[in-house]
Amino acid sequence: MKVLIALASIVGFLMVVLPGPLYQFAGVSLGTAFTSLRFGVYVGGAALILIILQVLINRKSVSWGSTFIYAAMALVAVGMPVSMMSKASAVPPIHDITTDVTNPPEFVAIAPLREGAPNPVSYEGGDVTKQQLEAYPEIKTQLLPQSINEVYIAAERTIDALGWERVTVGALPNTLEATDTTTWFGFKDDVVVRLTVQNDDTLVDVRSKSRVGKSDLGKNAQRIDAFLFELRNQLGYH
């Protein structure tokens, strides 16, 4: 049983941890990567059952150090995909979030980089807008009492502080575009920030859109929130 526990724990752990790097660096398809995640849960679950049986049946002969390590690996194998599924069920299956759903900021500089991406650069609207408004009512245009030049400079610093890659060639005036690469799978999500003068104030609109995937697990809304929070920090609000 000890061999089975070790094998199931290690295999389940690798089936869950490796799909991201393999997709990002080795060209493994996204479908294959997600299939590995799904079956990794089963293998990890089997390892946990075996560990429980071993503790109940052969408690006196259990090597607690190795058992703890194998249990931790099995928990990762089960926990990571289950957490992802839980997030997916808690948010709408959309991947394009914007503060202005009637006139969303337009991707221009980034558009050529998205050629061939499963998710087109255009804004779908309709049901996507409805789902966003229901799930993220706090995502809306921000009015800041600073000049557009001051906000623009702060927005540049914000993008740099968040570790995004700025894309500037061909961008519209008073607009910044950037790409955020996720750590695990290396997904490319794109952001456009549009600044508009309103008297002596500045309107800030942000749009974040994933290149792949139907659901973003709430990541784009989180990214917009993170940008607006850091922007206010750069302007001295916090």
The predicted pLDDT at position 238 comes to 66
Q: State the burial class of residue 52 (Cβ atoms within 10 Å of its Cβ: 0-12, 13-18, 19+).
A: exposed
DSSP category for residue 19 = H
Q: What is the pLDDT of residues 120-166, one digit of tens each?
A: 999 999 999 999 999 999 999 999 999 999 999 999 999 999 999 99
> Tokens 């991201």 — which residue?
20
> Which residue segments constitute the domains of the chain, with CATH numbers given?
2-90 (no CATH), 96-234 (3.30.310.80)
Write out the two tokens for 152: 């623009």
Q: What is the pLDDT of residues 99-133, one digit of tens each?
A: 999 999 999 999 999 999 999 999 999 999 999 99
How much is the average pLDDT of 69-89? Answer: 95
**40, containing H or E segment:** helix 30-57
Q: How confident is the model at residue 2 (pLDDT cuts 50, 70, 90)?
A: confident
Write out the two tokens for 115: 């050629």
